């Protein structure tokens, strides 16, 4: 039986996506090795577990988890030997059935030292804890600030010191913080466990002090070893700095599980949840639906059917503003409002062609109204981003595209229900903003391997940059042949394309993770569950918007 063109296209798309997922898995497997086998072996020889082994023992077995920022630091700081996963592992998971966020220093990466991206990742973890009233567990094993880059991690508002400010603020908010000193904990970093609600220290391997023995000797001439200066016995029997003296990593993690087990339930946000129903459409069908050629159109409704319960949704204003699909649905039982860029080429009511992935005035107007309705009904919002931007040109400008775009941005930015963003494809220009990019406080923002984040697409940007480059060279008297112009274009485009890749975005924490599209339901469900721990602290008010 002959294969139809549609089936052939589906298979080509499926193959392309699976190759991207395989490439992602290869990179992640390298990242999961941390500082490498030799350093892992050295850690084990000292009686310690790795950060990931600690997290595996701490979390409930065979339960869902989401690792935030695994790709943070990717291809960064290579002159210093690299910084896989930013030297710290952050996982949202379950301890004794309670959802928590765990932050574990990776001592195999520069002894757990803090690079600039390490600070950014730790602050993101605390932000997630504060936004969602999520208990946070710190597994401390760090040599402190990476001194060669101290100017980029120490003094600014979003630098190292903000961590301890957040410790204090979270404590005042009633957010549970538990710290375990399972290795080095030095200098300013010593404040983190002691500003937590409770702290544990592992005998013989955990130490806390403002200055180690060498610095003490240099500063005041006192000769003392690190264990006597700041070990477990010192801090649980003499100083009273720590609350629990535990014999090894395993006992430490068991004790944390016992402590979390006793945490009482807080008032929740009241998001509606019913029994989960699997999609009728296979979630992995997304692989074949999303075109490998990103310029080709497709219906986002088919993507939505792969994500939502029973593949069923109720579309809002389906015949109006067709370049965005707005719909009510359930994901793993949770009620959600979905705002998704549609990549079909369609006609509006006036018979005018509208291009997929572009936000038009009617789509922006519809989306703003839908976002307001979701806030009115206490329904979390899910944004599926595949957007090239807002429509340009005289017709759009005269029609008030800026006004309608501002209305959508205002409605979204002031949302008091939690927002979750999935970057499935393009995320360009102001479209990134309107569809709840990182600057607009999504509780979680993740990308598929097909995601691209930039001001504009690679070819368009390269053409603009090429014009500037050619004009500059001609002004200097250089003749530009067609071959030289193509060489310049290719160089500029390759550099720009690298910056638009999801790895570039994830390495800098513009997105929290790159995920297999088939994991989208799980990530959204875990995100809504954590968001349900905290009620909105203000009424919904969009402020002044022009209608």
Tell me the pLDDT tens digit for each residue of 6-33. Answer: 899 999 999 999 999 999 999 999 999 9
Q: pLDDT grade, residue 172 (50/70/90)?
A: very high
The predicted pLDDT at position 546 comes to: 66
Residue 459: the pLDDT is 72
pLDDT given at position 489: 80
Q: What is the pLDDT of residues 265-285, one digit of tens each?
A: 888 999 999 999 999 999 999
pLDDT score of 59: 98
Q: Residue 54's pLDDT is what?
A: 98
Average pLDDT estimate for 57-66: 98
Predicted local confidence at residue 167, as pLDDT = 95
Mean pLDDT (whole number) for 45-49: 96
Question: Quick one: which of 309, 314, 303 has its CA closest to 280?
Answer: 309
Which is it for strands 334-341 and 324-331: parallel, antiparallel or unpaired? antiparallel
- Comparing CA positions, the residue from 306, 290, 502, 544 lying closest to residue 411 is 544
Q: What's the pLDDT at 352? A: 81
Estimate the crossing angle of helix 116-132 against helix 161-173, to 10 degrees. Answer: 10
The residue ranking higher by pLDDT, 41 or 189, is 41
Rounded CA-CA distance 369/373 in Å is 6
The residue among 344, 269, 264 whose CA lies nearest residue 300 is 344
The secondary element (H helix, E strand) that includes residue 518 is: none
**Does residue 547 carry a pLDDT above 70?**
no
- Give residue 458's pLDDT: 67
**Among all chains, which residue has been given the structure tokens 């402590």?**
259
The contacts of residue 520 (CB under 8 Å, 6+ apart) are: 283, 286, 307, 422, 446, 448
**What average pLDDT does the chain have?**
93
**pLDDT for 460:** 72
Query: Can you tell me the distance from the alpha carbon of 209 to that of 528, in angstroms, rounded to the nearest whole number?
Result: 39
**What does the pLDDT look like over 322-359, one tens digit per residue?**
999 999 999 999 999 999 999 998 888 788 888 888 99
Q: Summarize the confidence of residues 285-307 as an average pLDDT.
A: 95
| Residue tagged 């500059």 (tokens) | 472
How far is the C-alpha of 67 from the C-alpha of 84, rounded, in Å?
14
**Average pLDDT of the residues in 48-73:** 98
Report the C-alpha dihedral over residues 354, 357, 361, 362, rounded to 10 degrees. 70
List the alpha helices (DSSP H) in 392-437: 394-398, 401-413, 429-434
Write down the pLDDT at residue 1. Answer: 56
What integer pLDDT is reported at residue 66 of this predicted model? 98
Q: What is the pLDDT of residues 360-409, one digit of tens each?
A: 999 999 999 999 999 999 999 999 999 999 988 888 887 889 998 999 99
Least confident of 188-202, 230-244, 362-376, 451-465: 451-465
Got the DSSP string for 334-364?
A: EEEEEEEE--S-EE-TTS-EE-TTEEPHHHH
Comparison of pLDDT for 394 and 519, the residue scoring more: 519
Q: How far apart are CA 274 and CA 291, in angstroms?
A: 33
Question: How far is residue 360 CA from its own chain's centroid?
Answer: 28
Could you tell me if 83 and 73 are in contact, meaning their C-beta atoms sit under 8 angstroms apart? Answer: yes
- Helices 249-261/51-58 angle, 10° precision: 40
Determine if residue 357 is left, alpha or beta; phi over 0 gives left, psi from -120 to 50 gives alpha, anything else beta: left
Phi-psi region of 133 (alpha: psi -120 to 50; beta: other; left: phi over 0): left
Q: Are 95 and 54 in contact (CB under 8 A)?
A: no
Cα–Cα distance for residue pair 386/383, rounded to 1 Å: 10
Provide mean pLDDT across the span 494-516: 93
List helix spans (H) across 414-457.
429-434
**With b meaning 16 or more CB within 10 Å and e meaning fewer, what string describes 250-270?**
eebbebbbebbeeeeeeeebe
Contact 365, 346 (CB under 8 A): no
The pLDDT value recorded for residue 265 is: 87
Alpha-carbon radius of gyration of the chain: 26
- Helices and strands in the chain, H and E counts: 20, 20
Q: What average pLDDT does the segment 60-64 reach?
A: 98
Pairing state between β 444-447 and 346-347:
unpaired
Token pair listed for 367: 């989306």
* Residue 44 parent element (H or E): helix 37-45
- The per-residue pLDDT for range 99-154, each reduced to its tens digit, is 999 999 999 999 999 999 999 999 999 999 999 999 999 999 998 888 889 888 88
The pLDDT score that the predictor gives to residue 483 is: 81
Burial category of 517 from C-beta neighbours within 10 Å (exposed 0-12, middle 13-18, buried 19 and up): buried
Residue 543: pLDDT band by 50, 70, 90 thresholds? Answer: confident
Using an 8 Å Cβ cutoff, are 100 and 93 in contact? Answer: yes
Residue-level pLDDT at 351: 80
State the Cα–Cα distance between residues 14 and 460, nearest whole angstrom.
27
Q: How far apart are CA 331 and CA 274, in angstroms?
A: 10
How crowded is residue 137: how many other Cβ atoms within 10 Å of its Cβ? 28
């Amino acid at each position: 039986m002959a294969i139809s063109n549609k089936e052939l296209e589906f298979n080509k798309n499926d193959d392309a996506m699976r190759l991207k997922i395989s490439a992602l898995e290869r990179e992640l497997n390298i990242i999961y090795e941390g500082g490498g086998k030799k350093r892992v072996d050295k850690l084990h020889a000292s009686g310690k577990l790795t950060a990931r082994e600690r997290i595996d023992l701490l979390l409930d077995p065979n339960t869902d988890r989401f690792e935030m920022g695994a790709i943070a630091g990717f291809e960064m700081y290579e002159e210093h030997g690299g910084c896989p996963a930013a030297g710290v592992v952050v996982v949202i998971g379950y301890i004794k059935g309670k959802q928590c966020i765990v932050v574990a220093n990776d001592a195999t990466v520069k002894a757990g030292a803090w690079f600039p991206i390490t600070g950014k990742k730790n602050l993101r973890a605390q932000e997630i804890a504060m936004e969602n009233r999520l208990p946070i567990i710190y597994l401390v094993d760090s040599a402190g600030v990476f001194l060669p880059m101290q100017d980029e991690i120490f003094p600014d508002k979003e630098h190292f010191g903000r961590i301890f400010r957040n410790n204090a603020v979270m404590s005042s908010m009633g957010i549970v913080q538990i710290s375990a000193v399972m290795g080095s904990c030095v200098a300013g970093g010593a404040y983190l466990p002691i500003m937590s609600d409770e702290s544990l220290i592992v005998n013989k391997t955990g130490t806390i002090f403002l200055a180690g023995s060498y610095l003490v000797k240099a500063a005041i001439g006192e000769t003392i070893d690190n264990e006597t200066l700041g070990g477990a016995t010192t801090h649980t029997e003499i100083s009273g700095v720590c609350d629990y003296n535990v014999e090894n990593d395993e006992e430490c993690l068991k004790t944390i599980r016992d402590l979390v087990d006793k945490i009482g339930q807080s008032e929740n946000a009241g998001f509606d949840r019913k029994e989960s129903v699997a999609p009728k459409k296979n979630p992995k069908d997304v692989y074949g639906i999303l075109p490998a050629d990103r310029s080709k159109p497709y219906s986002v409704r088919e993507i939505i059917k792969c994500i939502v319960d029973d593949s069923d949704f109720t579309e809002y204003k389906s015949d109006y503003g067709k370049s965005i699909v707005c719909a009510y649905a359930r994901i793993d039982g949770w009620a959600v409002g979905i705002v998704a860029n549609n990549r079909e080429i369609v006609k509006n009511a006036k018979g005018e062609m509208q291009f997929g992935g572009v936000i038009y005035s009617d789509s922006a107007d519809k989306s703003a109204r839908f976002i307001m309705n979701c806030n009115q009904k206490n329904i979390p919002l899910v944004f599926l981003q595949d957007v090239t931007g807002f429509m340009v040109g005289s017709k759009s400008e005269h029609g008030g595209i800026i006004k309608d775009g501002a209305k959508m941005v205002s409605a979204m930015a002031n949302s008091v229900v939690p927002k979750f963003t999935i970057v499935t494809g393009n995320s360009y220009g102001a479209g990134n903003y309107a569809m709840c990019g990182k600057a607009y406080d999504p509780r979680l923002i993740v990308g598929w391997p097909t995601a691209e984040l930039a001001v504009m697409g690679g070819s368009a940007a390269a053409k603009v940059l090429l014009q500037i480059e050619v004009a500059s060279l001609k002004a200097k008297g250089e003749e530009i042949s067609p071959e030289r112009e193509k060489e310049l274009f290719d160089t500029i485009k390759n550099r720009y394309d690298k910056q638009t890749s999801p790895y570039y975005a994830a390495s800098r924490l513009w997105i929290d993770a790159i995920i297999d599209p088939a994991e989208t339901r799980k990530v959204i469900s875990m995100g809504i569950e954590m968001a349900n721990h905290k009620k909105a602290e203000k009424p919904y008010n969009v402020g002044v918007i022009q209608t």
